[in-house]
Amino acid sequence: MSNIGVMGDPDERGHFGDFGGRFVPEALMPACLELEEAFRDAWADPSFINEYRTTLSQFVGRPTPVTPLPRLSEKLGLRLYAKREDLAHTGSHKINNVVGQTLLTRRMGKTRIIAETGAGQHGVATATGAARLGLACTVFMGEVDTVRQELNVFRMELLGARVVPVTSGSRTLKDAVNEAMREWVTCVADTHYCIGSVMGPHPFPWMVREFQSIIGIEAAAQLEELGAGTPDLVVACVGGGSNAAGIFAGFANSDARLIGVEAAGGAAVASGSPGVLHGMRSLLLQDEFGQIEEAHSMSAGLDYPGIGPEHAYLADSGRAEYFAVGDEEVLDAFSLLSESEGIIPALETAHALAWITREVGALIPRGATVLLNLSGRGDKDVAQVRQLLKGES
């Protein structure tokens, strides 16, 4: 476990530099404090770590492999490797965090879990983790998303979760978070709110990063084993930033350049400014009056107007760099990986690859060793891409 915590921990109030903190209604403060204490305690307890690690290996299928991508490498003139979170149970890295938080929920003696979800990835993961431990589960999902992603709604129901369509605001992810927070206030005694990315009030951004750091810890060791050494670049897509934080954690102390790729329509680093939302101070898309703007990306998982506070800090400090890519580049990258290597990536992941393909020979020197975090599989996106590429419905 020595590697856990390689990215700097926040201060005792959850600040990563100017970002982070805990901006929640007073009613939730005790829960946040209790959670922080429970997490600190658990994360220092070998029996908890063992339970977490065992669940990841026996249930989630970890370690996920690092796959060399020889054909794409040749096409691009790189040495390209992919960390295969698409192979984790439920199809993305989201489950790593859920495993940690559900085990923690049980440890805290709580019997119910709530979560927000956009397209449904985190919702399905949470419903999965809850089913495994026999926790009651309620998932808040923007009404617009419940219609767009009705199969994921049904998936969650199959897993025994209740899905609550959120009809406030823009009826999408950001409003689902608001609604989950509103719900949490009413039931915080027996209910844990399982936030799905490195966002929200302290300790969530830190805790979720810790639960996701397994990605980077594994990947660093696997690259060594493959003889690839330390990569020149580590590239991940960024919605809230949990998969990026997780893989960065394995390389923060190395020479690797850390690259986060946002959707152009939800680029909190490129287009945002400091603000407070959902319990954290971070970079947000907002208008001149401080009203939060909706993100717009074809990729539901990146459709979030903010970014985790640690990323805001990493951007500020220069340790990580953040770029944005547009929808067309993403579609190209989606097809490219599929046909070159037999891996259909999530649209979110395709953002990271799109940046790589764009920047080879520019920001990325030819011949560089590049590690792509393949955060999820594209099965969930195939219908949408088909519609976009074929112009059919």
Ligand X SMILES: Cc1ncc(COP(=O)(O)O)c(C=O)c1O
Q: Kindly list the catalytic residues.
A: 94, 116, 375
Q: Is residue 311 within the footprint of other proteins (CB under 8 A)? A: no
The item of a copy of itself, ligand X, other proteins, none sharing an interface with residue 121, based on CB under 5 to 8 Å by kind, is: ligand X
Q: What angle do CA 126, 130, 135 make, to 5 degrees?
A: 140
Q: Which member of 134, 290, 365, 367 binds other proteins (CB under 8 A)? A: 290
Shorter beta-carbon distance to ligand X: residue 83 or 358? 83
Q: What's the DSSP call for residue 272?
A: -
Q: Is residue 340 within the footprint of a copy of itself (CB under 8 A)? A: yes
Shorter beta-carbon distance to a copy of itself: residue 3 or 340? 340
CA distance 188 to 192: 7
Shorter beta-carbon distance to other proteins: residue 22 or 93? 22
Shorter beta-carbon distance to other proteins: residue 63 or 272? 272
Q: Which member of 90, 172, 197, 297 binds ligand X (CB under 6 A)? A: 197
CA 357 vs. chain centroid, Å, equals 22
Phi, psi dihedrals of residue 171, rounded to the nearest 5°: 60, 30
Total binding residues for other proteins by CB under 8 A? 39
Q: Which member of 1, 18, 30, 190 binds other proteins (CB under 8 A)? A: 30
Stretch that binds ligand X, among 7-15, 29-37, 242-250, 278-286 (CB under 6 A): 242-250
Q: Is residue 121 within the footprint of ligand X (CB under 6 A)? A: yes
Q: Is residue 110 within the footprint of other proteins (CB under 8 A)? A: no
State whether residue 277 is helix, strand or coil: strand
Q: Which member of 73, 348, 357, 369 binds ligand X (CB under 6 A)? A: 348
Residues sharing a CB contact under 8 Å with residue 362, sequence separation 6 or more, in sequence order: none
The item of a copy of itself, other proteins, ligand X, none sharing an interface with residue 241, based on CB under 5 to 8 Å by kind, is: ligand X
Site string for ligand X, 141-180 (x = CB under 6 A): ----------------------------------------
Phi, psi dihedrals of residue 113, rounded to the nearest 5°: -135, 140
CA distance 355 to 362: 11
CA 139 vs. chain centroid, Å, equals 17
* Sites for a copy of itself among residues 147-186 (CB under 8 A): 151, 154-155, 158-160
The item of a copy of itself, other proteins, ligand X, none sharing an interface with residue 84, based on CB under 5 to 8 Å by kind, is: a copy of itself
State whether residue 205 is helix, strand or coil: helix
Q: What is the DSSP string of 330-388?
A: HHHHHHHHHHHHS--B-HHHHHHHHHHHHHBTTTB-TT-EEEEEE-BBSGGGHHHHHHH
Q: Is residue 37 within the footprint of other proteins (CB under 8 A)? A: no
Q: Which member of 1, 13, 54, 157 binds other proteins (CB under 8 A)? A: 13
CA distance 336 to 329: 10
Q: Which member of 49, 164, 276, 388 binds other proteins (CB under 8 A)? A: 276
The residue whose Cβ lies closest to ligand X is 376
Q: Is residue 225 within the footprint of other proteins (CB under 8 A)? A: no
Q: What is the helix (H) or strand (E) element at residue 164, kind and residue range?
A: strand 162-166
Q: What is the helix (H) or strand (E) element at residue 192, kind and residue range?
A: strand 191-193
Closest CA to 19 of 241, 260, 275, 323: 275
Count the helix, strand and coil residues of the chain and give each as a percent rounded to the nearest 5: 50, 20, 30
Residue with tokens 């969930």, as numbered in its chain:
380
CA 20 vs. chain centroid, Å, equals 16
Binding residues for other proteins (CB under 8 A): 13, 21-31, 168-169, 174-175, 178, 181-182, 185-189, 273-279, 281, 284, 286, 289-293
Interface ranges with a copy of itself (CB under 8 A): 57-59, 61, 64-68, 71, 84, 86-89, 91, 127-132, 134, 151, 154-155, 158-160, 334-335, 338-344, 379, 382-383, 385-386, 390
